Amino acid sequence: MFALTLCMSSAGVVQAAECKYAENSVDKSTQAMIVITKWEQLTHWAREVRREMTAYVSASSYGGDKYLRLRVEYVRSPSTAAKQDPPGNAVLIAEGGELMIAMSDGVVLKLPAYKGVAGNTIYDDPHPGWLTTKATIMYELDAGNADALAAQSAKALRVMTDSGHHDIRIHKSNVDDIRRAIECVQEKPRKRI
């Protein structure tokens, strides 16, 4: 019995050690706990080389309200951008715009955007003559969606925009990154010493 208890407590320590926080603090005014995990790349590094959408994930909690944070970066040629995108932006998401998440069991979860977001488009130095659009979107998590995301892996994402959608295939080595990020904001983070 002691060995089983020791094994289970060791597993909990290992899981907590996997959490990497960008912020783990208490708001001085409201006393609300603020937890934000560090960004993890969901897509393969070669997607940027191939001029495709790259995606990063993080999760946050503020006083118990939880969010899945998605940062997308989209590199393309000016000629391609002019044909496909609204002027100046490749990612325009309205408040309530959906993020669809294809789970490993075939279920598709839908999360609403917390607020509207317009991507910031610039000519990018690392890619001379190409445009890079970046956007960070916060999606609201209710208890049911948070539990579903923490229970299994995700395979793909679909970001709904005002002009259609962008599909993001999660690289096989990153299928558990969303699950881990959600687990890190669901458990009570340890105070830093």
Token pair, residue 12, equals 């909990």
Please state the rounded mean pLDDT for residues 164-180.
92
- pTM, rounded to two decimals: 0.80
Mean pLDDT, rounded, for 170-182: 94
pLDDT band at 162 (very low <50, low <70, confident <90, very high): confident
Higher per-residue pLDDT: 10 or 173: 173
Instruction: Indicate the domain borders of the chain.
Output: 2-186
pLDDT of residue 120: 84
Res 122: pLDDT: 77
Per-residue pLDDT band for 1 (boundaries 50, 70, 90) equals very low
| Distance from C-alpha of 90 to C-alpha of 74, rounded to nearest angstrom | 8
pLDDT tens-digit map of 8-40: 443 443 344 489 999 999 999 999 999 999 999
- Whether the per-residue pLDDT at 111 is higher than 90: the answer is yes
Q: Cβ(87)–Cβ(118) under 8 Å?
A: no
Q: Which residues contact 184 (CB under 8 A, 6 or more apart)?
A: 18, 19, 20, 21, 35, 37, 59
- Most confident of the ranges 40-49, 51-60, 81-90, 169-178: 169-178
What are the φ/ψ torsions at residue 16 (nearest 5 degrees)?
-65, -35
Q: What are the tens digits of pLDDT across the range 31-65?
A: 999 999 999 999 886 655 555 678 999 999 998 89
| Per-residue model confidence as pLDDT tens digits over 112-152 | 999 999 888 877 656 667 778 889 999 999 999 999 999 99
